[in-house]
Chains A and B, each alone.
Chain A
Amino acid sequence: MRTTPAEIFRRNSELESFRRDLTSLDGEFDFASPDMIALGEAYFERHPDRSVGRDTPAVLLGYALVRVCVIETVIRDLAPAGRRFYRAALQDVSRVGPIIEERRLLESPDELRREAEAVAVALDAIKRTIEEIPKGMIRERFIGGISNLYNILYIVKMKLRAE
């Protein structure tokens, strides 16, 4: 049986140790809706939400955990250069422009566009899985988490169009 994101979070409540352990799996973990719910339950056990005076750092941790899992899933089938690019860019929008400029020197625009499309397809598949999660705060963290990755992918595509 493979390690799940929930198990990793229960061992590592800090974002960076969670990221390190999850990234070391190279995408070889299960991320179906029960796995997402299990991660959400583990997270909310540690960081219960409240309607007034919310704990913003805890909320942001929730989004960040989701983003780590989604990024590792969507880059799983990319070539090494693409994995490095999307792992960096999807975490930090300021990295998008500089890395695209570097990659343009080595790879064709068509290759880069095909790669972006592959990421978009993988992201859509994860979004459909998220939509299987019942309405509630677990689903909210997943939607909030994946949203920023869509935003950054939009920027990637915008920059690839601008030649």
Chain B
Amino acid sequence: MSEKKKVLIIDDDPDICESVKAVLDANGFETEVALSGMDGLEAFGRIKPDAVLCDMMMEDVDSGIQVAKVMRKKRGDVPIYLLSTIGDATAGSLDLGGLGFNGVFQKPVNFDMLLASLKRLKK
């Protein structure tokens, strides 16, 4: 069984998925990407990730919220982070916890912070 932490990246922009995957893979994570909320939910059940990075706007402007709510019902213990362009002020006004997220990483992602957060997670 792999000792690497598994991270599921859900974003409808394949370029973002590829580049985030490249950074995480190079830093010792096992990653899976999904290009839609629906595909993300399928992958969530299949790979049982240790953490999820999820874009907000995909099929719908609030797809990320819909996806996080379903994941929370299935597994309440998995950290789900929003990857977003919404800006700090808007993020600060949202009840991220109530929406199912453990936190938000604004795009452009600060990878030093993201990697530090992911490395702290328990396998």
What number of A residues sit within 8 Å (CB to CB) of B?
Answer: 26
Q: Give the complex CA separation of A94 and B25 in angstroms.
A: 13
Q: How many A-B residue pairs have CB under 8 A?
A: 71
CB-based contact B20/A53 at 8 Å: no
Q: Is B39 in the interface zone, CB < 8 Å from A?
A: no
Q: How distant is the Cα of A158 from the Cα of B111 in the complex, in angstroms?
A: 11
Chain B interface size, as a band, is 20 to 34
Interface SS of chain A: helix
Partner among B19, B26, B60, B90 whose Cβ is within 8 Å of the Cβ of A152: B19
Say whether B18 contacts A54, CB under 8 Å. no
Contacts of B18 in A (CB 8 A): 93-94
Majority SS at the chain B contact face: loop
Sample of 19 further A-B pairs with CB below 8 A, known A93-B22, A139-B85, A147-B107: A54-B59, A56-B12, A60-B13, A63-B15, A127-B108, A135-B87, A140-B57, A143-B85, A143-B108, A144-B16, A144-B85, A147-B85, A148-B13, A148-B15, A151-B22, A152-B19, A155-B22, A155-B23, A158-B23
B residues adjacent to A (C-beta < 8 A): 12-16, 18-20, 22-23, 26, 57-62, 85, 87, 90, 107-109, 111
- Seen from chain A, the residues whose Cβ lies within 8 Å of a Cβ on chain B are 51-54, 56, 59-60, 63, 67, 93-94, 127, 135, 139-140, 143-144, 146-148, 150-152, 154-155, 158
